[in-house]
Amino acid sequence: MSAINFTYLPGDGVGPEVGAVAMTVLQAIAEKYGHDLKPAQYLIGGAAIDAGLKPLPDDTFASCQKTGAILLGAVGGPKWDHLKGADRPELGALLPLRKRLNLYANIRPCKPYPALIDHAPLKRERLEGTDFIVMRELTGGIYFGAKGRDTLGAYDECRYSEIEIERIAIKAFELAITRRKKVTSVDKSNVLETSRLWRQTVMKVAASYPSVELEHLLIDAMTMHMLTRAQDFDVILTENMFGDILTDEASVLSGSMGVVPSASISDGTIGMYEPIHGSAPDIAGQGIANPLAMILSAAWMLRLSLGLPAEAQAIEDAVAAALDGQHVTGDLGGRLSTSQTGDWIANYVHQS
């Protein structure tokens, strides 16, 4: 019996609710495929602060480093919004975790499930055939520049080195050659110097990938193109802040924030897997959060960090079956609770 070792960080708000469901589904997978599920569960974010600890306790970080596979719910919420700087869950836990583990590449998909096309607010013809992946730079840019207050006001510095841009661009082109061979690089090079270096460096990397088409778009126009011609995109390459915003927008094409997983990876197999949504304080504690993004994130962890592609596929098939049969939560027009959705998917795994 082989062990499935990973670090499980439930976090805050709906994080523990969707996390519990992902654990149920992972347990079903472990039973079906003869593995021993061994989650190492640790506190992070507001939950750690409430326990009198730092937002990213040392033993939490040590486990993440040791297992190299991390499943995270979400961190943050109004309860901790009064805190400043690194005392906050986001700046004190999530960002340092990404930075210290060098998880510079954040992958977020947009391929609307057939069963959700009529649920999304856009017309069917704007959605059918959409299949793109956003490659978001995750450890640089304005998120990590000097920030502060002075007598003039406040500032957040945006910096990118050529190496930081080059390595994320390589990830995007390497992904594109396995797909439809197109990279759309999104920047604001008409205004920002970091974007000018971004564009220049992406063009340099592109020269090594002659079979891949490269397109450049400005971020403001891109937010519009994504809604009017989503089918034209294959791999969208962009910096940290633009990628954050574009992927929430893209989740609307997918039908809900609650169905979009993400992988944050580096070189090698280390990875952190989390839904793109946050702690959803407006619905936390009600048992209505959609657990599919968290379940799909767990599947990606199995495939990308733990080398278990068949197990990952079994989860993805079960999620597709749940969607086809409308065994889903209210945000997708279904009637099931968070845990009922997880139980349906776990049963499907057992029976298939």
Closer residue to ligand IPM, CB minimum distance, 57 or 278: 278
∠ at Cα 109 (348, 156), nearest 5°? 130
Which pair of structure tokens corresponds to residue 167? 């390595």
Among positions 244, 274, 311, 331, the unique one binding Mn ion when judged by CB under 5 A: 244
Closer residue to ligand IPM, CB minimum distance, 73 or 278: 278
CA 27/CA 85 separation, integer angstroms: 37
Asked if 90 touches ligand NAD (CB under 6 A), the answer is yes
148 beta partners = 155
Assess contact for 289 and 278: CB atoms under 8 A.
no
Window 60-79: residues binding ligand NAD (CB under 6 A): 74-77
Closer residue to ligand IPM, CB minimum distance, 90 or 331: 90
Nearest-approach distance from CB 90 to ligand IPM, in angstroms: 4
Asked if 257 touches ligand NAD (CB under 6 A), the answer is yes
Asked if 274 touches Mn ion (CB under 5 A), the answer is no
Catalytic positions are 143, 188, 220, 244, 248
> 292-304 and 309-324 helices cross at what angle (nearest 10)?
160
How does 51-81 read in b/e, with b if 16+ C-beta sit within 10 Å? eebbbbbeebbebbeebbbbbbbbbbbeebe
Total chain residues near ligand NAD (CB under 6 A): 22
Window 82-141: residues binding ligand IPM (CB under 6 A): 90, 94
Choose among ligand IPM, Mn ion, ligand NAD, none what residue 133 binds, the Cβ cut-off being 5 to 8 Å by kind. none
Choose among ligand IPM, Mn ion, ligand NAD, none what residue 254 binds, the Cβ cut-off being 5 to 8 Å by kind. none
Closer residue to ligand NAD, CB minimum distance, 41 or 179: 41
∠ at Cα 198 (197, 202), nearest 5°? 115
CA atoms within 13 A on the CB side of 53: 17
Give the residue nearest to Mn ion (CB).
244
Nearest-approach distance from CB 264 to ligand NAD, in angstroms: 10
CA 286/CA 323 separation, integer angstroms: 21
CA 232/CA 257 separation, integer angstroms: 22
Strand, helix or coil for residue 282: coil
Nearest-approach distance from CB 76 to ligand IPM, in angstroms: 6
Closer residue to ligand NAD, CB minimum distance, 53 or 83: 83
Q: Enumerate binding residues for ligand NAD (CB under 6 A).
A: 14, 18, 74-77, 90, 94, 257-258, 274, 277-283, 289-290, 293, 331
